[in-house]
Structure 1
Amino acid sequence: MKKFLSVLYTGWCGIVFVVPFLFLYPFIFICIQNKRWHPFGHKIVRFWSQIFFLFTGMIIQKDWKFKPDKNKTYVYVANHFSYLDVAAGMNIVENYFAYVGKSSVSKVPLFGYMFDQLHIAVNREDKNSRSKTMLRGIRALKNGRSVFIMPEGGIISKQIPKMAQPFKDGPFIMALENQVSIVPISYLNNYQINPANLFKWGLPKVIINKEIKTEGKTSKDIEALKKEVYDIIQSDLDKYYGLEKTEYLG
């Protein structure tokens, strides 16, 4: 019975995801034709995310240990165990930002084109793509646009809720290059609500942790920053699930 209800709920989530998107897409499409209009396109996509969480009954429970300044630029980093994480990020972060995500998203009709225009797609198997992604992320930050990256490099953990190690250098290089703060975000239970391709109703729980300032730090501090971010997010996960502390193996 529970599986049947999950299938029905998954179908409803699919409808709530697709129908508003198709309705809003013409407006998004117009906004992404001119870079000056991209912030408006971003706001429409954020509105779409809010519709999704509202009408699926998944009201995000946000624990604000730090409230980012809407007028400042940050590098947001989070654990990544579920596809729901991306939609949740759009709902949580109020700053204008660019996601750094896998290039395979670009193959999805309509959504892929929107992602390519508003965000930063990366092919992690291609060194040139990774280099271009780094430059685009650094440029976005220099232009006053925040960046959101999952430092694990995808949904790759074999021991959820333990994060995959080591973290990718990208988000930390971008933050150091621009001397902007890093904001760790902990998604506590998204993967329980959205395991694989199924949805089970629940209230997503998220912690927005205090910023980690990078002023005065250099590339020599990358490993220390990676460990600090890992310890913050993994500590939240360990406490939530009653697990023992895990050391970062960078």
Structure 2
Amino acid sequence: MQKKRIGILSYLFNFWCIVWLIIVYLALFPFIFICIKIKKLNRYGTKLTNIWADIFFVIVGMPVKIEHRFKPDRTKNYVFVANHFSYLDVAVGMKVVRNYFSYMGKSSVKNIPLLGYMFAKLHIQVDRGDKESRSKSMMRSKKALDAGRSLFIMPEGGIISQEIPKMHQPFKDGAFLLAIGSKVPIVPITFLNLYEIMPDKTIFWGIPKVIMHEPIDTSNYSKENLEELKTRVYEIIQNELDAYKNGN
């Protein structure tokens, strides 16, 4: 992937984005904090993060374009899975997924001031290098699904692909084992161009493009055909990434 040149306008745009990210988040944080402290209000904490993403992307002039081949029922739960090439993925995910959900992501996020606190309390942290942490995260995720909450997992296990926009393989098993175990549909999501907008820690102006795919019923899957399910999801997401790349 060709590296973009960073000019003065890019620096100014990054400054603009950072300022508004902080302003909007600080404005909403007291309400998120209340939702965190009162367990019955937890789902509204997730809703507030949706509102944060709504406001942020409009203010910075980057309206997210979503192609809905499926519109999730907000009264049901799903395991959402997406490719992961950019630091922008999480923020766009908060815009795209409107169900009551938890991210299952790296524990290192908790070190980010304020945002890390919110992530630690509303979402599920996992230290992939710690077997005990992985086990606890899987148990928490299973409980969340069984309680009616959706999960959002990026099964590559991080931004680790060396051939973007080709996803890293093999996928981690967690998202698929959880969906099979709780008989919850998997909804693939393709982040088409976020790696172009934010290829590293610098953000360039662009219109984020996302595809919400039709769900995959997991009721007929088991651990024995886990790899078949992983391959199916991979192909759904990767085919769209390839078509987007070839169309540019």
What range is the shorter-chain TM-score in? Answer: over 0.9
1:141 aligns with 2:127: no
Counterpart selection for 2:206 from 194, 202, 206: 202
Secondary structure (helix, strand or coil) at the match of 1:152 reads coil
Q: Which residue of 2 aligns with 1:87?
A: 91
Q: Which residue of 1 aligns with 2:227?
A: 223
Once the two structures are superposed, residues 156-187 of structure 1 have per-residue CA deviations (whole angstroms, 9 ceiling, x without a partner) of 11110000010000000100011010000000
The CA deviation at 1:30 is 1.1
In percent, how many aligned pairs have the same letter?
A: 53
Once the two structures are superposed, residues 118-164 of structure 1 have per-residue CA deviations (whole angstroms, 9 ceiling, x without a partner) of 00011000000001111111110000000000000011111100000
Secondary structure (helix, strand or coil) at the match of 2:54 reads helix
1:52 aligns with 2:56: yes
Q: Which residue of 2 aligns with 1:247?
A: none
Structure 2 matches for 1:97-116, cutoff 5 A? Answer: 97-116=101-120
Structure 2 matches for 1:160-171, cutoff 5 A? Answer: 160-171=164-175
Hey, what's the Cα distance between the residues in 2 that align with 1:170 and 1:136? 12
Secondary structure (helix, strand or coil) at the match of 1:32 reads helix
Q: Which residue of 2 aligns with 1:248?
A: none
Secondary structure (helix, strand or coil) at the match of 2:81 reads strand
Gaps of 5+ in 1: 244-250
> What amino acid sits opposite 2:242 in the alignment?
D
Q: Which residue of 2 aligns with 1:77?
A: 81
The CA deviation at 1:216 is 2.8
Once the two structures are superposed, residues 73-123 of structure 1 have per-residue CA deviations (whole angstroms, 9 ceiling, x without a partner) of 100000000111101111011100000110001111111111111000110
Secondary structure (helix, strand or coil) at the match of 2:190 reads strand
Stretches of 4+ aligned residues off by more than 6 angstroms: none
Hey, what's the Cα distance between the residues in 1 that align with 2:245 and 2:77? 32
> What amino acid sits opposite 1:91 in the alignment?
K
The TM-score with structure 2 as length reference comes to 0.96
Secondary structure (helix, strand or coil) at the match of 2:37 reads coil
Q: Which residue of 1 aligns with 2:182?
A: 178
The CA deviation at 1:2 is 6.0
> What amino acid sits opposite 1:112 in the alignment?
G
Counterpart contact for 2:185–2:215, Cα < 8 Å? yes
Counterpart contact for 2:106–2:128, Cα < 8 Å? yes
Hey, what's the Cα distance between the residues in 1 that align with 2:157 and 2:220? 27
Hey, what's the Cα distance between the residues in 1 that align with 2:160 and 2:39? 33
Larger mean CA deviation between 211-220 and 119-128 belongs to: 211-220
Once the two structures are superposed, residues 47-69 of structure 1 have per-residue CA deviations (whole angstroms, 9 ceiling, x without a partner) of 01111111111111111111111
Hey, what's the Cα distance between the residues in 1 that align with 2:38 and 2:223? 35
The TM-score with structure 1 as length reference comes to 0.95
Gaps of 5+ in 2: none
Counterpart contact for 2:66–2:212, Cα < 8 Å? yes
Counterpart selection for 1:12 from 10, 16, 36: 16
Hey, what's the Cα distance between the residues in 2 that align with 1:241 and 1:137? 34
